[in-house]
Amino acid sequence: MSDEFEEKLARYERILRGEERYGDDGHDLGPIDQALRFQLDELLEEIVRRTRERSAAALPVGGLDLLVSLSGFSPMGTILTYRLLRPRQLLIIGSEESKRSIDVIGDAVVGPGQLAHRNFNHEPCDPRDPMSIYRLIQSRLDTVSKAERRRPVAMIDITGGKKVMSAAAALAAWQLDLPLCYLDGTYSARLRQHIPGQDRLLLLPNPAALFGDQEMDRARVMFDEGSFAAARARYAQLAESVPEPARARFMAALSDLYQAWCDLDLDRIPRSADETLTALDRVGGHTTSAFRDQLEQQLAFLRRLTGPDNRAELTLCFTLLGRFHLDHDRRDFAALLYHRTIEEALAHRLETLVPGFDCTAPDYSLFPDGALAVVNRYRAARVRLGLPEDQAPPSPVAGVAAAVLLDVLGDPMLGPARLTHESQIRELRDVAAIREQSVLARGTGSVTEAGLDRLILMADAILNAYWQQHGDGTALNHRLNTLAFIKAPF
Domain chopping of the chain, boundaries: 2-210, 212-306, 312-483
Q: Predicted confidence band at 417 (pLDDT cuts at 50, 70, 90)?
A: very high
Task: Determine what percent of the chain is predicted with pLDDT higher than 70.
Answer: 97
Contacts for 487-490 with beta carbons within 8 Å, 24 or more apart? Answer: 487/223, 487/224, 488/219, 488/220, 488/223, 488/224, 488/251, 489/286, 489/287, 489/288, 489/291, 490/216, 490/220, 490/247, 490/251, 490/286, 490/287
Q: Are 313 and 370 in contact (CB under 8 A)?
A: no
What radius of gyration do the chain's Cα atoms show? 36
pLDDT of residue 270: 98
Q: Is the pTM of this model over 0.85?
A: no
Least confident of 37-46, 197-206, 378-387: 197-206
What's the CA gap between 68 and 161, in Å, rounded? Answer: 12
What does the pLDDT look like over 203-216, one tens digit per residue? Answer: 876 665 556 677 88
Q: Predicted confidence band at 377 (pLDDT cuts at 50, 70, 90)?
A: very high
Please say if the pLDDT value at position 177 is more than 60: yes
- Tell me the backbone φ, ψ of residue 164, rounded to 5 degrees: -65, -30
Residue 406: HSE in the Cβ half-sphere, 13 Å Cα cutoff: 29
List C-alpha distances in Å: 101 to 3, 92, 468: 30, 10, 81
Residue 188 or residue 118, greater confidence: 118
Give the mean pLDDT of 2-7. Answer: 88
What does the pLDDT look like over 23-43, one tens digit per residue? Answer: 866 567 888 889 999 999 999
Please say if the pLDDT value at position 163 is more than 90: no
What's the CA gap between 476 and 120, in Å, rounded? Answer: 68
What's the CA gap between 183 and 194, in Å, rounded? Answer: 10
Task: Determine what percent of the chain is predicted with pLDDT higher than 90.
Answer: 75
Mark 363-372 as b/e (b = at least 16 C-beta within 10 Å): ebeebeeeee
115-119, 178-182, 194-198 — most confident range: 115-119
- What number of H helices and E strands is found in the chain? 20, 8
- Average pLDDT score over the chain: 92
Give the mean pLDDT of 235-249. Answer: 86
What does the pLDDT look like over 129-155, one tens digit per residue? Answer: 878 899 999 999 999 999 988 989 999
pLDDT of residue 48: 95
Q: Predicted confidence band at 317 (pLDDT cuts at 50, 70, 90)?
A: very high
Q: Give, in words, the CATH class of 2-210.
A: alpha beta
Residue 74 or residue 321, greater confidence: 321
A 10 A CB-CB count for 401 gives 22
